[in-house]
Structure 1
Amino acid sequence: MTDPGWGGAPGDQPTPPQSRCVRHPDRATGLACSRCGRPACPECLRPAAVGQHCVDCVRDANASVRPIRTVAGARAGSTYGLVTYILMALNVLVFAVTAMQSRDVMGNTDASPLFNAWALFPPSVATGDLERLIGSGFLHIGPIHLLVNMFALYIIGRDVEMILGRSRYLAVYFVSLLGGSASVMVLEAPITVTAGASGAIFGLLGAQAVILLKLRRSPTPILVVIGLNIFISISIPGISLWGHMGGLVAGAAATAGIVFLPSRLRTPHIGWIAVGAVAAVCVAVIAVRVLSLRSMMGL
C-alpha cells in the first residue's frame, strides 16, 4: 500500500534536496556550512565546534583573530634565527675574502685590501672613511676570532631575534655595532686598529638581559657571562674592552626602549623611535670625536 502523501513504497525515505557546492558548481551536495548556510561539498567543509564550516568562513574567522605577539610587539612564530644565519654567513664571507686576498687563512689581515679599507682606525674615520664604523664589525683577525664570535652569535642571536622580530633585531644589531665603534673612537688610543663582531654580540647580550627583566626572569646567567667576558677583555691584551662596552650599552638601551614602552604606546612600529634615539646619540658622539681628531691632525 502506498502513502498518498509522497507516493513512495512502504519503508522508503524521501531523498533530501540536492544543491550545488558554491565553490564547485559541478558537484551536487546535501551539506551546508553551519555558519553561513551555503551549500558545500565535503571537500570544502571543515569540522567546527558546532557543525561544520566552509573554507571561506574558516579563512574569515582566522583573519579576525589577533596575532600572538612577543613582549617586544613582534609577531610570534616567524622563522627562527633566519637573520642570525644571514649575519653569520656575511661574516664568514668577508673573512673568506680577506683570507683569499692575503693568501693566508691564519694571517688574513696582512695583505688584504678589504681589511685595510674596513678596519676601524679613528684617524681614517676622521678623514672621511665612515664605512669603517660598520664594516669593521664584519672583519675578523684569524679563524679563531671568527669561530668564537660566530658561535656566540649563534647561541645568543636566535633567541633575541625571536623576541624582537627580524627588523628590530637587525636594527639593534647594527646600533650595537655603531655603539661599539663610537666607544672605540672616544676611549681607545687614536692609533688603535679594531675589528670584529664582538661589539654587536655584546649588544645582543645586553638585549637578552633586558628581555629577561621584562619577562620577570632572572638575568643572572647573562650577567655572569657579561662579567666573565669583561674580565677576559681586561686580562688578555689585544681585546677591545671599550668596543665591547659601547656595544653592550647601545644594545641594552635600544632594547629597553622597545620592551619597556608604556602599554598604551606599544605598537609594532613605535620601538623604532627608541632605536633611532640610541643611534642618534652614537652618531653625535662620533661626530664630536671626528671634529676633535681633525683639529688634532690640523685638518
Structure 2
Amino acid sequence: MTNPGWGGAASEGTPPPQPRCVRHPDRPTALSCTRCGRPACPDCLRAASVGHQCVDCVAAGQREMPQARTVSGAQIRTQNPTPVVTYALMALNVLIFAITALQAKSLMDNGGGVINRFTGVATFDSPLFGRLVLAPDLVAQGEWIRLLGSGFLHFGLVHLAVNMFALWVLGRDTEFVLGRSRYLAVYLLALFGGSASALTFESLGAFTAGASGAIFGIMGAQAVLLLRMRRSANPILAVIGLNIVISLTVPGISLWGHIGGLVVGAAATAVLVYAPTGQRTAADLARSRTLGWVGLAAVGVLVAGLIALRVVGLRDQMGLA
C-alpha cells in the first residue's frame, strides 16, 4: 500500500529561499521594482507614480526624459544658477586692477605715466599696466599678449566700477541662456574683436584698455538672444545707442573698441542661436552643439585674420622687416 503524499508535510514546512537584492546580494528582500521586476531592498527603491522603482530604473528614466533647455541649447539645471563665469571674470578684472593700483600707488591714476618726447616711448607707473595696455606699434612688434591683456586693464577706479557693474547686470542672464562655456567663448571673442577694431582704426600711438569692448559684445549677445526668443530688444538697443553716443561725445573713450566688440559679440551669438537645433533627439542636440562651435571658430578665424592684416600693414608703415 502506498501513500503518494507521504513525506510531503516536511517539505511543505520548509519555505523557499527569499530573493536577494540585485545590488546588495547579502540582503534578502520580498520587494521588487515595478518597472523591471527585479528584487530590491528598501534602500534601492524610490517612490514612483505607480509603486516603487529601483535606482537603476529611476536613472534610466531621467536619461530618457527630455531636458529643459534654453534657446541656445544650454541645459537648465536649476532656476537660480550661479553665474560662475561672470563672477570669475569680475574677480580677474578686480585682481589685475588691484595689482596695477598697488604698483602705481594710486586708485585713480593707476594707468598714468610719461612719454619721452624724443623717442615716443611711454613709461607707466605700473609695470603690469605698461606690459598689457593695447599699443598698436608694440603689437606690430610681436607683443600679442596686449590683445588679450588690455581687456582686463582699467584707467582708474571709476572706469573699473562702471564696467564691472555693467558686466554684473548683463553677464548673469547671458551666461544662463548661453551656458558657461559658450558664454565665455562669446566674451573672449568680443574682447578680441574690440582689440582688433582699436588696432585697426585707432592712431598708431594710442593706448587702449578696458573690458568695455567685451561688455559691448555681451550687449550685442543679449540683443540677438531677445530677437531669437521673439521678445522686444528695444531696451537693450536703447542702452547700446546711449553708450555709443557717450563714446562719441566723451573724450578718451575708444569708440572703435566698443563697436568692434559689439559686432563680434552679436555675430558670435547669432551663429549659436540660429544654427539648426532640432532638440528632439540626442543626435540633433549634438549636431546643433557642433555647428555652434564651428560657427564660433569661424568668427574667431575672421577676427584673427583682421588682426594679422592690420599687423602686416603696421609693420610696413613702421618700416619693420
Q: Flag structure 1 segments of 5+ consecutive residues without an equivalent.
A: 1-6, 8-14
1:80-159 correspondence to structure 2 within 5 Å: 80-110=82-112, 111-159=125-173
Q: In 2, Cα distance between the equivalents of 1:29 and 1:257?
A: 55
Residue ranges of structure 2 left out of the alignment (5+ in a row): 1-8, 10-14, 113-124, 279-283
Cα distance in structure 2, aligned partners of 1:269 and 1:67: 18
Q: SS in structure 1 opposite 2:225?
A: helix
Q: Following the alignment from structure 1 to structure 2, what is the Cα–Cα distance between the partners of residues 82 and 211?
A: 20
Verify: 1:43 aligned to 2:34, yes or no.
no
After TM superposition, give the deviation of residue 41 of structure 1 in Å: 2.4
Q: Give 1:245 shift.
A: 0.4
CA shift, 1:20, in A, is: 3.0
Quick check: 1:167 aligned with 2:190? Answer: no
Mapping of 1:1-299 within 5 angstroms? Answer: 18-77=18-77, 79-110=81-112, 111-263=125-277, 267-299=288-320
Q: Name the amino acid aligned to 2:206.
A: T
Cα distance in 2 for partners of 1:16, 1:57 equals: 27
Identity %: 58
Query: Cα 1:36–1:262, aligned 2, differ >3 Å: closer, same or farther?
Result: closer
Superimposed CA distance per residue, residues 101-160 of structure 1 (whole angstroms, 9 cap, x where no aligned partner) = 112222212311110011011111111111111110000011111111011111111111
Q: Work out the CA distance in 1 between the residues paired with 2:72 and 2:155.
A: 35
Contact (CA 8 Å) 2:276, 2:288: kept in 1 or not?
A: no
Q: CA deviation at 1:63?
A: 2.3
Number of residue pairs the alignment of both structures matches: 287
TM-score of the superposed pair, with normalisation by structure 2? 0.84
- The answer to whether the Cα contact below 8 Å between 1:99 and 1:108 also exists between their aligned partners in 2 is yes
Q: Does the aligned pair in 2 maintain the 1:16–1:30 contact within 8 Å?
A: no
Give the Cα separation in 2 of the matches to 1:31 and 1:289: 73
Q: TM-score, normalised by structure 1?
A: 0.90
Once the two structures are TM-superposed, the CA of residue 209 in structure 1 deviates from its matched residue by 0.4
Separation in 2, partners of 1:38, 1:275: 48
Alpha-carbon distance, 1:16 to partner = 11
- Quick one: distance in 2 between partners of 1:180 and 1:293? 18
- The more displaced of 175-184 and 194-203 is 175-184
Confirm or deny: 8 A CA contact 1:74 1:268 kept in the other structure.
Answer: no
